[in-house]
Structure 1
Amino acid sequence: MLTQTTTRVLEPGDLDAALAVLDREPVANAFVAARVRVAGLDPWRLGGEMWGWYEDGILTSLCYAGANLVPICATTRAVRAFADRARRAGRRCSSIVGPAGPTAELWRLLEPHWGPARDVRARQPLMVTDRMPEDVAPDPKVRRIRKDEMETILPACVAMFTEEVGVSPLAGDGGLLYQARVAELVATGRSFAHVDDEGKVVFKAEIGAATPQACQIQGVWVAPEYRGRGHAAPGMAAVLRYALRDVAPVVSLYVNDFNAPARATYRRVGFRETGTFMSVLF
């Protein structure tokens, strides 16, 4: 047993202890918890390492180190330890993302070694709901995307990602990993869209991370020529109905604080702000 404060890479045998930490904040930790529940703690299957911080032999904090660097239930001392390990390993992630407090401290410690970032989004409200809105009817044309509709949904996904993140997801590996992720969401029935009679995507969103406790809506997008016509709120209500009925009892998302129209839409369909995330993009 570890009897002092220390950090180490977790192994498959640490799964129960890691899940206990993740379950302390099931909404905020949904992204990482979903991966761990599917892949366990084997780095190859998980797509990265899980670092653990121990105090008096008890696992108290985690940090997922893969394509994203994500502090989880991280105390101040744990953040310092994770930053030291990340600094020594060198930057391998495309972003740092997580609850604003620990993420900001992690970035403060890493910026002298990893900076500058391409973009820092210091305040991204975490929004949550567990019920359908009373005054917004779901768009009846929003439905699950079929496996044979990849050529329909993929351009909309690429457009959303590029607009949101500022770079194309098709760069680097030609988009193979991104296309595989879109295909996975379609195959598991978690990709939704309103497709018009000409085969063009009007509105789309996905249910990304999902655990028995909570799931997360992502990739919300309305085609530019359809914006301002009232598609967003009914579209969100439709995806929310699928999420609550088929996936989890609590639905969350996080949004940039400067995106006033999106925040207003989410409030209209019943989401309330319960916390704040932060993202550092490289």
Structure 2
Amino acid sequence: MLTTPSTKIVGPDELDTALAVLRREPVNNALVAARVQASGLDPWRLGGELWGWYASGRLESLCYAGANLVPLSTVPESIPAFAERARRQGRRCSSIVGPAGPTAALWSRLEPHWGPARAVRPHQPLLVTERLAPHIAPDPLVRRIRKDEMDLVLPACVAMFTEEVGVSPLVGDGGLIYQSRVAELVGSGRSFARVEEGRVVFKAEIGAATAHACQIQGVWVSPERRGEGLSETGMAAVLSYALREVAPVVSLYVNDYNTIARAAYRRLGFEPAGAFMSVLF
């Protein structure tokens, strides 16, 4: 029995306990909770490690360490321990992302060792909704992308990622990991798009899904079609599916400077529910 606060990798035998901790904040933790459920905490399938912070032998806080470093259901006392473990291991992630407060505290301890970051986005509003706005009709041309349409949707995904993050997802490993993630979303039926004349003009994905909440990501409109309202009607279509078939709460987070997108999400019925922070390397 652990009697003093400590951290260690959470193993498969602690799956139920870890899920119980993640359910404390079902919206904030949706992305990692979905991966934990799917992987059973097998490190290979999880794509990283789940670190646990224990007080008096009880699992209290978590931190996902994979392609992203993500603090989850943390208490203030756990942040120094997670930061020290990350510092000792060395940076293996491409970003730190999570609820703004814990992420800022984690970054303040890691910045002297891992900095400077390529970009820091300290306040990304987290938005949620449990309903579909009745005054915006879903776009009937937005549909699921089929498994045989990877070549159709991948260029739009790459364009969205490059525009949002500032670097192409195809650098480094040639895009193998990114293409695998896109294929996973397409294969699970969570990739949606409006296709015109063989080109994607709107797309979005349900990037994470649990029984309690899901998260929409990767919202993108082809540059030459922006200003036509495709994002609102397209999002209404994806939102309608998500609420009907996936989870009772739908969330997303957006850059605070993207006032056009924030206004569109507000019209769709999304309301503020906190903030995320991203540190990009």
Q: Say whether the fold is shared (TM-score over 0.5).
A: yes
Aligned length: 281
- Mapped to 2, the partners of 1:238 and 1:264 lie a distance apart of 17
- Mapped to 2, the partners of 1:64 and 1:146 lie a distance apart of 31
Q: Secondary structure at the match of 1:71?
A: strand
1:259 aligns with 2:238: no
- Mapped to 2, the partners of 1:106 and 1:141 lie a distance apart of 43
Which residue is 2:40 aligned to? 40
Please give the per-residue CA displacement for 1:47-101, whole angstroms capped at 9, x wherever unaligned. Answer: 1111111112211100001111000111111000000110011001110000000
Please, what is the CA RMSD of the aligned residues? 0.8
Which residue is 1:158 aligned to? 158
- Mapped to 2, the partners of 1:180 and 1:152 lie a distance apart of 15
Q: Secondary structure at the match of 1:252?
A: strand
Shift of 1:183: 1.2
Which residue is 1:144 aligned to? 144
Q: How does 1:57-136 map to 2 (within 5 A)?
A: 57-136=57-136
Corresponding letter in the other structure for 1:212 = A
Which deviates more, 248-257 or 1-10?
Answer: 1-10
Unaligned runs of 5+ in 2: none
Shift of 1:200: 1.4
Which residue is 1:22 aligned to? 22
Shift of 1:231: 0.9
Please give the per-residue CA displacement for 1:77-130, whole angstroms capped at 9, x wherever unaligned. Answer: 100000011001100111000000000010000000000101000000110001
Percent pairwise identity:
73
Please give the per-residue CA displacement for 1:143-182, whole angstroms capped at 9, x wherever unaligned. Answer: 0111121111111000000000000011111111111111
Q: Secondary structure at the match of 2:257?
A: coil
Corresponding letter in the other structure for 2:243 = L
Which residue is 1:223 aligned to? 222
Which residue is 1:210 aligned to? 209
Which residue is 2:243 aligned to? 244
Please give the per-residue CA displacement for 1:27-47, whole angstroms capped at 9, x wherever unaligned. Answer: 100010000000022222211
- Mapped to 1, the partners of 2:7 and 2:22 lie a distance apart of 17
Shift of 1:213: 0.6
- Mapped to 2, the partners of 1:238 and 1:98 lie a distance apart of 27
Q: Secondary structure at the match of 1:76?
A: coil
TM-score by length of 1: 0.98
Q: Secondary structure at the match of 2:239?
A: helix
Q: Secondary structure at the match of 1:179?
A: helix
Question: Which runs of at least 4 in structure 1 moved beyond 4 Å after TM superposition?
Answer: none
- Mapped to 1, the partners of 2:187 and 2:6 lie a distance apart of 41
Which residue is 1:268 aligned to? 267
Which residue is 2:184 aligned to? 184
Shift of 1:201: 1.1
- Mapped to 2, the partners of 1:152 and 1:213 lie a distance apart of 31
TM-score by length of 2: 0.98
- Mapped to 1, the partners of 2:141 and 2:159 lie a distance apart of 21
Q: Secondary structure at the match of 2:177?
A: helix
